[in-house]
Amino acid sequence: MRARVHGVEPRSRANGPGARFVVWLQGCTLGCPGCFNPTTHPADGGHEIEVAELAAQLEASGAEGLSLSGGEPFQQPAAALALLEAARAQGKSTLAFSGYTLDELRALPLGERILAHLDVLIDGRYVAGERLATGLRGSENQRIRLLTSRYSEADVAATPEAEIRISPTGEVILTGVDPLKLKVLR
């Protein structure tokens, strides 16, 4: 099985509790005005990769869990489910960001199976007029759904809003729910 991926971050602390292996799945048709990640929207963007390769990278990363983001990760439901199943098989925790509400996810193909493999779901469309950018929520209308007892609200709230990383090749990576608001020290 293949997934269309916008990007991968092997160890992030700003995309969920602890060190996370983050996969941004490509493609989103929800069209939330003000979305800060519009390059993830075109369905033909990004690149294809075997889910088994992503699972191998997850295992090699040493991260405590998998975070799915996008785009809209559940517009690739089979790939999302396969990644979540792989994470569970490795004993990893799972978290996903989705513009769909919990009820909308339940109605999607594979929705119930996907939800059964998630510890935490951040759900709801981004609303620019309700910008929050803290506690893993981009806007106040979004909800943190603790679907298992693996994490508490305090665990989620302790996640940094943003992080910056410089790759071995000098690439600067900004990530998190508020990556563009990092304070620059001079």
Q: What is the pLDDT of residues 93-102, one digit of tens each?
A: 999 999 999 9
What mean pLDDT is reported for the chain? 93
pLDDT at 76 over 90: yes
**Which superfamily is assigned to 2-181 in CATH?**
Aldolase class I (3.20.20.70)
pLDDT at 180 over 80: no
- Mean of the pLDDT values across residues 24-39? 93
- Mean of the pLDDT values across residues 166-183? 74
pLDDT at 39 over 90: yes
- Could you tell me how many helices (H) and strands (E) the chain has, helices first? 5, 11
Is the separation of the CB atoms in 12 and 22 below 8 Å?
yes
Report the SS3 class of residue 126.
coil
Place 178 in a pLDDT band, splitting at 50, 70 and 90.
Answer: low
Task: Please tell me the predicted confidence (pLDDT) of residue 182.
Answer: 46
Name the residue ranges covered by the structural domains of the chain.
Answer: 2-181
Is the separation of the CB atoms in 86 and 51 below 8 Å?
yes
